[in-house]
Amino acid sequence: MTIRTLMSTAAALTALAGPALADINIGASISETGPAAFLGDPEAKTLRMEVEKINAEGGIIGEPINLIMYDDGGDPNKARTFATRLVEDDEVVAVIGGTTTGTTMAMVPVYEDAEIPFISLAGAVEIIEPVKEFVFKTPHTDRMACEKIFEDMAARGFSRIGMISGSDGFGKSMQAQCKDVAEASGVEIVADEVYGPQDADMTPQLTNIKGSGAEAILNSGMGQGPAVVTRNHTQLAIDAPLYQSHGVASKQFIELAGSEAAEGVRLPAAALLVADQLAEDDPQKPVVVGYRDGYESETGEDVSTFGGHAYDALYILKAAIESAGSTEPAAIRDAIEATSGFVGTAGEVNFSGDDHLGLTLDAFEMLEIKDGNWTIVE
């Protein structure tokens, strides 16, 4: 009885907020709260803002988008339930989301079974390797970030590397990938330390790395950890230069670390962070400048690459529905896979049957922080 009452209340409420029949139902399960909230928050804001914009401009193939977005709080089990709900109850034709690798992987079986195209916003390689028919993703993989960083280190003549990684999913996954590609990239990992995502002081780990004789240090992590590592790196006056990962995704990092401590830190990042510094003829320039200006004026917050991933996913989907001329999930999937030359915030995307990421290393810029601002390393 109670189950029924509550459930039908839920159904009624959903129906109230629900669509007219002809709308294009696009689902999303994003971690707006929980430990991944600072990724999920800009993603959700981006989706709301851009869907509104697309609808104001007449929607996709003449139909407005009805965005059905749930907050999974970063809990994979909850994400899985929302995935079932999106497919079974909301009858969506495509889904964006999975802020974290955990929530993404929990949802994958549902969309594969239901044959609904799914564009993930999470980082790890395992999402698209091996290729799953209905699963795509927009962010660069952590493996690519490792390669980009090691390439730069090798070019500067560093071969002995110290690693310090966050113990969350992002940090651990990148730590594993970097160790995997280190040898092929010509660097040796001589120290390998870990910290908790909310730790306040990493000087013990950095002291050990300093003692190991590392010539450069790589911090794979996101959130507040990289800021603390950067400050501690300066506090201990370590000579080995510090590299951050693509998990450092907005201007906020420089504010948290302090521009003095952040001076000279390098990191691979999408062009979005250095929109103004791109050459005028760079095809990415209008895209990233447009998105950044829109986001910053709408929210009053610094733009982040995480929001950019959501932007890319939505517009890849829009382009696919337009080229398919249909809202059938199978047709949309085929059109997504046929995406080529799509210019987004992360770079140029070219999907194919055996590549559901579609980005190359060129999509990363190597940045260095100078005087509290990003500069592109030539």
Partner 1 sequence: MRLSPRATTLLVLAVLIALSPLMFPSNFYYRVGSLIFMNGLAVTGMVILIGYAGQISLGHAGFSGIGAYSCAIMPVQWGIHPLLAPLLGAAISALLAWLVGRPILRLKGYYLAVATLGFGILVYMVLMNEAALTGGPDGITVADSGLPDLAEAAGLDLSNSQFWYWMSGLVLLAGAWLALNLYDSPTGRALRALHGSEVAARTVGVDVARYKLQAFVISAVYASVAGSLLALQNKFITPDVAGYMHSIELVTMTVLGGAHSVLGAVFGAAILTMLPQVLTVFAEYEHLLLGLIMMLVMIFLRDGLLPSLMRLIRGKSE
Partner 2 sequence: MPELLQFLFSGLTVGAVYALVALGFTIIYNASDVVNFAQGEFVMLGGMITVFAHAAGLPLLLAAGIAIAATAVIGVALNKLAIEPARGAPVVSLIIITIGASIFLRGVASLVFDKQIHRFPAFSGDAPFRIGGATILPQSLWVIAGGVAVFIALWLFFTRTLTGKAVLATSNNRLAAQLVGINTNWVMTLSFALSAAIGALAGVLATPITNTSYDVGIALALKGFAAAMLGGMGNPKGALVGGILLGILEALTAGYLSSQYKDAAAFIVILLVLFIMPQGLFGARQTERV
What residues line the site for partner 2 (CB under 8 A)? 32-35, 37-38, 41, 167, 193-196, 198-201, 203-205, 207-208, 211, 223-224, 227-228, 231, 234-237, 252, 255-256, 258, 260-261, 301
Closer residue to partner 1, CB minimum distance, 7 or 22 = 7
Strand ranges inside 272-343, DSSP E: 342-343
Whole-Å CA distances, 152 to 7, 45, 148, 218, 233: 55, 34, 6, 12, 20
Q: In what order do the strands lie in the sheet with 266-269?
A: 188-195, 160-166, 216-220, 242-244, 266-269, 365-370, 373-376
Using the rule CB under 8 A, is 76 a contact of partner 1?
yes
Ramachandran quadrant class, 186 (left: phi over 0; alpha: psi -120 to 50; beta: rest): left
Residues 31-60 touching partner 1, rule: CB under 8 A, are 32-33
Contact region with partner 1 (CB under 8 A), list: 3-11, 216-224, 330-338, 358-366:
3-11
For the CB of residue 192, give the shortest distance to partner 2 in the complex, in Å. 9
Residues 175-214 touching partner 1, rule: CB under 8 A, are 176
First to last CA, the chain: 67
Contact region with partner 1 (CB under 8 A), list: 104-112, 218-226, 258-266, 344-352:
104-112
Using the rule CB under 8 A, is 106 a contact of partner 1?
yes
Using the rule CB under 8 A, is 78 a contact of partner 1?
yes
Contact 276, 371 (CB under 8 A): no
> Of partner 2, partner 1, none, which one does residue 102 interact with (CB within 5 to 8 Å by kind)?
partner 1
How far is 297 from 327, CA to CA, in rounded Å?
A: 32
For 57-80, the DSSP string reads TT-BTTB-EEEEEEE-TT-HHHHH
Using the rule CB under 8 A, is 70 a contact of partner 1?
yes
Count of residues binding partner 1 (CB under 8 A)?
45
For 308-319, the DSSP string reads HHHHHHHHHHHH
Contact 185, 154 (CB under 8 A): yes
Task: State the residues that interact with partner 1 by CB under 8 A.
Answer: 2-4, 6-11, 13-14, 16-17, 32-33, 70-71, 73, 75-78, 80-81, 84-85, 87-89, 100-102, 105-106, 108-109, 113, 124, 126, 167-169, 172-173, 176
